[in-house]
Amino acid sequence: MPDPVDPAIVKKAEELRSALHRHNYRYYVLDDPEISDAEYDRLMQALIKLERDYPALVSPDSPTARVGAPPLAKFDTIAHTLPMLSLDNGFSDADILEFDNRVKRFLKTQEEIIYTAEPKMDGVAVELVYENGRLITGATRGDGRTGEVITANLRTIASVPFLIQTDYLPTIPSRLEVRGEVFIGIEVFQQLNQERVEQNLPPFANPRNAAAGSLRQLDSKITAQRPLEIFFYGVGIITDYAFHTHWALLQALKGWGFRINPLIRPQITIRQALEYYRALMAMRHSLSYDIDGMVIKVDSLPRQRQMGATTRSPRWAIAYKFQALQETTVLENIEVQVGRTGVLTPVACLRPVQVGGVVVSRATLHNEDEIAKKDIRIGDTVLVQRAGDVIPEVVKVVVSGRVGTEMQFKMPSNCPVCGSSVVRLEGEAATRCINSRCSAQIKERIKHFASKGAFDIDGLGDKLVDQLVGRGFLRSYADLFDLDEQTLAGLERMGPKSAANLKKALESSKSISWARFLYALGIRHVGEHVAALLASCFQNLEELMHCPAAELEAVEGVGPVVAESIVNFFNQESNRQAIKQLLAGGVQIELEASKKTGRLAGKVFVLTGTLQGFTRRQAQEMIAAAGGKVGGAVSRNTDFVVVGDSPGSKLDRARNLGVEIIDETMFREMLGLRPELPEKGG
């Protein structure tokens, strides 16, 4: 047992920690430091010496912990209580005015809507979870539903509070999920890149990539050496408080010690937001950090809840993007790629050019109609941009640069890979190879099957898939689990050790969740979100395979096109055989129902009408988190129908079938939530 530390020493350490936390808050959040940098450094050095001399004093909440923790072997993952959704984008004043009109139509009002406008940080979104005022977990946005746990790395950021301040609001939430954007300043980014060049390391492409790379270091000591910063912009779950406006929430966050962007403009009209957009655009290049637009949010939180969200974006917010950086170059050729669904996609082969700090040599041309519409020809000088600052695309042709040798593009009448005929169905822009045995389609389906959101097979890269299909070892993804080590070891750049590792990865991937299995099948129009919806509404694979389109359409988020695609997929004998082969090969589907626990375990809920305390998405997520299931239509299998304001026909059907009907108060009680509290301090 170590000797007890003298109480006077303990008290001194506590005083130093308290002082440093307070000065961090005044420096990073209030921009109003009370002491000089030198005095701050003296306090920090005094605490470091105490903790070095008395190891029992070391605490994870100490300001000294920002130097980083020991390296991690890998990142764990964690589910966000509420999804971190993407934002819809606008690119013109007309787009923003139409957004304002949509808001008014949805809210059924002609009154002026009040918004809050925020600079759109070009950084990395994260979520930090505090319980009883103490930071317990930090994670990346990930896919919006599940993120990587990077708590140790986030602790190295000086403006991330370990403990919530109580000066502004003495009562702190028992749980606070606060969301922010991590970024790196432009000047320090340039310095970082200069250091990397001097160390013969490749430079980062842009500040956002540098921030993302820094956050995903397994060794948080490396992260601590990177000058990362953060602005906080909102919350997921917050208990004990019910704010009425987004601005009041931001003010509370600032009072609790979270750094809020000082350029946020609160409670303005849409016209004022457009004026501020131009002001932000003018100051864009004078800022010390990158922004790529402005976010406009409905300020009223009750109205935000009333509007809810689509499958990917909140209806109450939009990002007004700045014009993407553009460059001119020469389109030297057009190649045609074949995707997993047989779609032929023309791709521009460009003379390499830097666009926004990234060398671009290929760009999407979308489809034949797009090429004709823009009159794009091989040999043209073209204007290229990274659409949304991510995907390169050809914007337009510089017609004045034509010399007469340019050639028009024609979509091939046969698949460039397998030679089969291609078709273009009426009403579709896509041209498709109709040969499901086309090697290009097989390769892309296998790559999708093995991807991170699906079976996540470590070591099965694109080149290896190309080899396996090209040499006839794989004819579908169902053949993957029949591969043996001897076959794998005989491939290029493989050997006994690599083959054994891949075989081990294949075996370990056989146990998979119901939702990921559905996504892995590659059903057209069924992405990760729709797969999760289907998994929550259907007990097992057999039930889904025999479900008619009309019942599929009753699932919220599944429309006629998606329903027809699902039915067509399971009607194909080759797909049924592939599934049969997978199951025979040892694939184990972990059905959600079999492992659900919680106060709502096994219960099926249907929602109708507008809830006051939740958006529709929040209610669905909380039901799922408590072990329940959400149905899209009322049936005899429904246990409860939750009724909000202005309910639809689902209420009548519930009455006819004798299904139990509950209001929002009863629903909250079933979830174990306290009644909504009045706003505090807002």
- C-alpha distance from residue 352 to each of 79, 339, 402 (Å): 40, 24, 19
Q: Active site residue: 74, 120, 447, 680, which one? A: 120
Residue appearing with tokens 């695609």:
565
**SS3 assignment, position 243:** coil
Q: What angle do CA 625, 627, 633 make, to 5 degrees?
A: 95
- Residue 120 known to be catalytic: yes
- C-alpha distance from residue 669 to each of 8, 12, 82, 675 (Å): 48, 46, 19, 8
Q: Whole-angstrom Cα distance, residue 217 to residue 152? A: 10
- Number of residues that make up the chain: 682
> Which structure tokens are listed for 171?
């009562």
Other C-beta atoms lying within 10 Å of the C-beta of residue 167: 10
Q: Is the dihedral of CA 244, 246, 248, 253 positive or negative?
A: positive
> Which structure tokens are listed for 564?
């027809």
Q: Whole-angstrom Cα distance, residue 457 to residue 506? A: 6
Q: Whole-angstrom Cα distance, residue 122 to residue 285? A: 13
Q: Which of 84, 128, 68 is nearest to 259 (CA)?
A: 128
Contacting residues for 347 by C-beta, under 8 A, at least 6 apart:
334, 335, 336, 337, 362, 363, 364, 365
Residue appearing with tokens 């956002």:
208
Q: Whole-angstrom Cα distance, residue 662 to residue 71? A: 50
Q: Whole-angstrom Cα distance, residue 536 to residue 556? A: 11
Alpha carbon 30 to chain centroid, angstroms: 30
Residue appearing with tokens 């005094």:
46
Query: Is-contact 83 141, C-beta < 8 A?
Result: no
The residues annotated as belonging to the active site are 120
